[in-house]
């Protein structure tokens, strides 16, 4: 019954399938007949007299050329009609999209860990090389729209999840722009549509996991976005204020950077919050793991402190890259060099979690503004130089030089990974790929 129904639909008049299938068959038939007649004419002296042998060569060649034309045009038109329902919002020729899709499908398996505005920059840069991307995102946010939804509805904060889903989607898509739309007035003032969408979908489906899967399907993203944990966690920081002898304990991600002191220690509450199983599996199966960029204490460490994440990072065979921030962040990393960023990570998760550090070495003054303070390189003879390979290159977004340029970042990460995979020195491979070249220390 199903077969007859399906066959009836395929034979429906006007769907643009039957005619091109018929023309394709005619084209194949013309090619076959012209080849057979050509062979018979060439063998004519040894064959009995047949009417078909009187056919002019012009007719035979014309039939063959016509058959070849139909055999080329018909499949193209048939493919176009068959793919039409799936490319309503897709731009450009089908062959370009098919080529790019298959190229990305064969790309490396990448896991990117972080949050805030830094992680989306990584994802935008990498999605041109591969669609095998998994973003592992912090769920410790308690400020803004996410914080309000978390307090009012008891849900995990959706903000960082939303931003990274949008980063993996088509930037020009109307749905992507709608997802990032933020209401400016009324009771919804400050809320983004995407946060409300994910929260509502979590209620409808009964879980954040299912809501993320359905959201990714709606936006047709390249990759997956996972939370670091499905448990409700709170950041707890020991902060020493200027001029004070004792450190104070501050609870809540949004309050830590506002305190303005020196962060001495960061923990999660509860400390035994377990990592989401999908995140652990993604790390173990990865070819490349990218940690950062992003706020060191409120975007990166909240992921790695989740029980099981650091252990998975040590266990995986992936090439692990830590991307250091371009600028220092008031209230978190004021006065930090690249070395202090590394030491802070080591203090909380130990050594040996990553293999290489990728850092910026361009410090433009144009567009930088008065508040941008660039993170400076590791001082000479510093102890971290004995433990890690430090790679410097131009990673600056010229329009907003305190942020990473997605394209430069993607090229540098893939360049270093390919150099590691092929056994070439990173500087030799990456100089041809990274916009400013790479300097190894």
pLDDT of residue 81: 72
pLDDT of residue 123: 95
- Which range has the worst mean pLDDT, 43-57, 169-183, 291-305, 425-439? 425-439
**H or E segment to which residue 386 belongs:** none
- Sheet containing 262-269, strands listed edge to edge, beginning at the edge strand earlier in sequence: 248-251, 234-240, 262-269
Indicate whether 283 and 409 sit together in one domain: yes
Q: Please report, for the domain that includes residue 387, its CATH number.
A: 3.40.50
* Cβ neighbourhood burial of 400 (10 Å; 0-12, 13-18, 19+): middle
> What is the β-pairing status of strands 319-323 and 389-393?
unpaired
- pLDDT, tens digit, for every residue of 84-138? 655 544 555 555 555 565 667 788 999 999 988 899 999 999 998 999 999 999 9
| Residue 176 covered by a domain | yes
> Is residue 50 pLDDT above 70, yes or no?
no
> Is residue 195 pLDDT above 70, yes or no?
yes
| Residue 167 covered by a domain | yes
Indicate whether 292 and 417 sit together in one domain: yes
39 falls in which pLDDT band (50, 70, 90)? confident
> Is residue 388 pLDDT above 80, yes or no?
yes
* 8 Å CB contact between 418 and 356: no
| Residue 261 covered by a domain | no
Q: What is the mean pLDDT of residues 309-321?
A: 96
pLDDT of residue 10: 62
Radius of gyration of the chain (CA): 29
pLDDT of residue 200: 93
Q: Which residue has the higher pLDDT, 85 or 56?
A: 56
* 8 Å CB contact between 81 and 15: yes
pLDDT of residue 382: 93
Closest CA to 283 of 120, 117, 131, 135: 135
* 8 Å CB contact between 405 and 396: yes
Q: What is the mean pLDDT of the chain?
A: 86
Q: Name residues whose C-beta falls within 8 Å of residue 142's C-beta, 6 or more positions apart in sequence.
A: 150, 151, 157, 234, 252, 253, 254
Report the distance separating Cα 107 and Cα 111, nearest Å: 12
Q: How many residues belong to the chain?
A: 441
The per-residue DSSP string of 385-413 comes to GGT-EEEEE--B-SSSTTSB-HHHHHHHH
Q: Which residue has the higher pLDDT, 302 or 49?
A: 302
Indicate whether 81 and 19 sit together in one domain: yes
Indicate whether 163 and 124 sit together in one domain: no
Indicate whether 168 and 121 sit together in one domain: no
Report the distance separating Cα 227 and Cα 159, nearest Å: 11
- Which range has the worst mean pLDDT, 140-144, 306-310, 342-346? 140-144
- Which range has the worst mean pLDDT, 171-185, 259-273, 281-295? 171-185
Q: What is the mean pLDDT of residues 205-214?
A: 90
Q: 361 pairs with which residues across the strands?
A: none
pLDDT of residue 428: 38
Closest CA to 311 of 267, 281, 333, 288: 281
DSSP classification of residue 252: S
* Token reading at 66: 């016509």
Closest CA to 363 of 376, 379, 381: 376
Beta strands, E only, 18-146: 110-114, 133-137
Indicate whether 161 and 190 sit together in one domain: yes
| Residue 241 covered by a domain | no
Indicate whether 49 and 128 sit together in one domain: no
Q: For tokens 């990553």, what's the residue?
A: 354
Closest CA to 9 of 440, 260, 18, 391: 18
> Is residue 430 pLDDT above 50, yes or no?
no
pLDDT of residue 49: 66
DSSP classification of residue 327: B
- pLDDT, tens digit, for every residue of 218-274? 888 889 999 999 999 999 999 988 878 788 999 998 898 888 888 999 999 999 999
pLDDT of residue 376: 95
Share of the chain above pLDDT 70, in %: 85
Which range among 77-81, 174-178, 225-229 has the greatest average pLDDT?
A: 225-229
Of 221, 253, 288, which residue sits at a domain end? 221
* Cβ neighbourhood burial of 328 (10 Å; 0-12, 13-18, 19+): buried
- pLDDT, tens digit, for every residue of 127-167? 989 999 999 999 998 888 888 898 888 899 999 999 999 99
| Residue 409 covered by a domain | yes
pLDDT of residue 427: 45
Q: What is the mean pLDDT of residues 310-338?
A: 95
Indicate whether 134 and 193 sit together in one domain: no
> Is residue 433 pLDDT above 50, yes or no?
no
**Cα 289 → chain centroid:** 12
| Residue 232 covered by a domain | no
Distance, first Cα to last Cα, the chain: 69
Of 156, 186, 221, which residue sits at a domain end? 221
**Alpha carbon distances (Å) from 91 to 20, 87, 104, 221, 325:** 24, 8, 17, 15, 35
How many domains in the chain?
Answer: 3
**27: containing domain:** 15-86
Indicate whether 343 and 280 sit together in one domain: yes
| Residue 7 covered by a domain | no
Indicate whether 173 and 114 sit together in one domain: no
> What is the β-pairing status of strands 288-291 and 224-227?
unpaired
Indicate whether 361 and 381 sit together in one domain: yes
Helices and strands, number each (H, E), in the chain:
17, 11
Report the distance separating Cα 371 and Cα 130, nearest Å: 35
Q: What is the mean pLDDT of residues 196-206?
A: 92
pLDDT of residue 17: 75
> Is residue 426 pLDDT above 60, yes or no?
no
pLDDT of residue 416: 93
| Residue 267 covered by a domain | no
Indicate whether 56 and 107 sit together in one domain: no
* Token reading at 273: 């919050």
Q: What is the mean pLDDT of residues 385-403?
A: 93
């Amino acid at each position: 019954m199903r077969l007859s129904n399906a066959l009836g639909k395929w034979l429906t008049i006007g769907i643009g399938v039957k005619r091109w299938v018929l023309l394709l068959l005619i084209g194949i038939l013309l090619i076959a007949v012209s080849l057979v007649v050509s062979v018979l004419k060439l063998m004519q002296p040894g064959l009995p007299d047949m009417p078909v042998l009187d056919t002019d060569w012009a007719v035979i060649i014309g039939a063959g050329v016509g058959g070849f034309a139909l055999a080329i045009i018909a499949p193209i038109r048939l493919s176009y009609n068959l793919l039409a329902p799936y490319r309503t919002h897709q731009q450009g020729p089908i062959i370009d999209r098919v080529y790019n899709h298959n190229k990305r499908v064969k790309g490396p398996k990448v896991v990117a860990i972080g949050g805030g505005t830094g992680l989306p920059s990584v994802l935008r840069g990498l999605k041109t090389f591969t669609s095998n991307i998994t973003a592992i995102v912090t769920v410790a946010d308690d400020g803004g729209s996410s914080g309000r939804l978390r307090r009012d509805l008891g849900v995990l904060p959706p903000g960082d999840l939303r931003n990274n889903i949008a980063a993996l989607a088509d930037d020009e898509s109307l749905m992507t722009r709608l997802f990032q739309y933020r209401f400016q007035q009324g009771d919804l003032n400050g809320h983004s549509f995407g946060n409300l969408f994910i929260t509502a979908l979590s209620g409808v489906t009964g879980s954040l996991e299912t809501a993320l899967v359905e959201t990714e399907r709606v936006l047709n993203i390249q990759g997956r976005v996972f939370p670091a944990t499905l448990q409700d966690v709170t950041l707890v920081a020991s902060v020493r204020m200027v001029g004070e002898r004792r450190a104070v304990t501050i609870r809540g991600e949004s309050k830590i950077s506002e305190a303005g002191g020196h962060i001495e220690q960061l923990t999660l509450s509860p400390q035994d919050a377990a990592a989401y199983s999908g995140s652990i599996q993604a790390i173990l199966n990865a070819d490349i793991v990218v940690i950062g960029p992003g706020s060191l204490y409120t975007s990166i460490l909240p992921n790695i402190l989740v029980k099981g994440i650091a252990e998975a990072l040590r266990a995986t065979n992936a090439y692990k890259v830590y991307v250091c921030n371009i600028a220092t962040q008031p209230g978190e990393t004021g006065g930090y060099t690249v070395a202090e960023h590394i030491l802070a990570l080591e203090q909380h998760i130990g050594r040996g979690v990553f293999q290489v550090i990728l850092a910026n070495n361009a410090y433009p003054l144009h567009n930088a503004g008065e508040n941008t303070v660039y993170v400076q390189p590791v001082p000479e003879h510093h102890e971290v130089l004995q433990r890690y390979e430090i790679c410097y290159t131009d990673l600056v977004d010229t329009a907003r030089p305190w942020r990473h340029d997605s394209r430069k970042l993607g090229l540098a990460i893939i360049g270093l990974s390919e150099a590691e995979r092929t056994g070439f020195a990173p500087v030799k491979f990456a100089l041809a790929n990274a916009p400013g070249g790479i300097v190894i220390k």
